[in-house]
């Protein structure tokens, strides 16, 4: 299953580096990832945090992520095939949350704001997602900043180099309010 192509694809390394930096992970943290896809962000976060809870509602994403974690010899991630709205009904509190892809931000963010003690990071490629996330976070009083990350990679052409841009990603940062 590791060769499965998932919608959205894996998070680019440079975007992931900025997102993880903005999360500010600590070795004692329990982190929630919503929309784990290939598991790439969860696996990277697992090197820095104590426990990762990784959600995706697509069974093929969970199977791909589990296989990737096993291949990377990572054992502190719990992968769950569930919808975030359903999962967030539990009483669990998290230090940080990363939202890599999801629908229903207007339903998820108010709950996350109460269940996250420190940092919420959302990666968005669509302007509509950016707009909804910022508006909802401002309404909740948890908005901190948006960082637009544009990456271009070098490619050889005609004996020289050119740069091919990768679509920009908006890294949206909020502060949790759970005590």
- Region 18-32: mean pLDDT is 97
Tell me the per-residue pLDDT of 149-165, one tens digit each, with 9 for 90 and over.
999 999 999 999 999 99
Between 101 and 97, the more confident residue is 97
Q: What's the confidence (pLDDT) of residue 8?
A: 61
Q: Residue 10 has what pLDDT?
A: 77
> Cα-flanking dihedrals φ and ψ of residue 8, to 5°?
90, -30
100-111 in b/e form (b: 16+ CB < 10 A) is: bbbeebeebbbe
Distance CA 83, CA 167 (A): 27
Task: Give the Cα separation of 26 and 117 in Å (integer).
Answer: 13
Q: What is the DSSP string of 52-73?
A: EEEEES-HHHHHHHHHHHHHTT
Hey, how many other C-beta atoms are within 10 angstroms of the C-beta on 29? 20
pLDDT exceeds cutoff 70 at 173: yes
Banded pLDDT at 3 (limits 50, 70, 90): very low
Global pTM reads 0.91
Domains and CATH numbers, the chain: 13-175 (3.40.50.150)
- Contact at 8 Å (CB) between 94 and 113? no
């Amino acid at each position: 299953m590791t060769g499965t192509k998932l919608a959205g694809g894996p998070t680019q390394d440079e975007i992931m580096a900025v997102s993880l930096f903005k999360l500010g992970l600590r070795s004692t943290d329990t982190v929630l990832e919503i929309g784990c896809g290939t598991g790439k962000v969860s696996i990277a976060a697992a090197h820095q945090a104590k426990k990762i809870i990784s959600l995706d509602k697509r069974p093929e994403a969970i199977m791909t992520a589990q296989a990737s974690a096993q291949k990377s010899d990572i054992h502190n991630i719990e992968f769950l095939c569930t919808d975030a709205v359903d999962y967030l009904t539990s009483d669990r509190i998290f230090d940080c949350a990363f939202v890599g892809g999801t629908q229903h931000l207007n339903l998820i963010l108010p709950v996350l704001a109460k269940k996250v003690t420190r940092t919420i990071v959302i990666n968005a490629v669509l302007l509509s997602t950016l707009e909804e996330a910022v508006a909802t976070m401002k309404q909740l009083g948890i908005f901190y900043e948006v960082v637009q990350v544009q990456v271009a990679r070098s490619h050889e052409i005609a004996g020289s180099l050119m740069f091919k841009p990768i679509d920009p990603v908006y890294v949206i940062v909020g502060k949790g309010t759970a005590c």
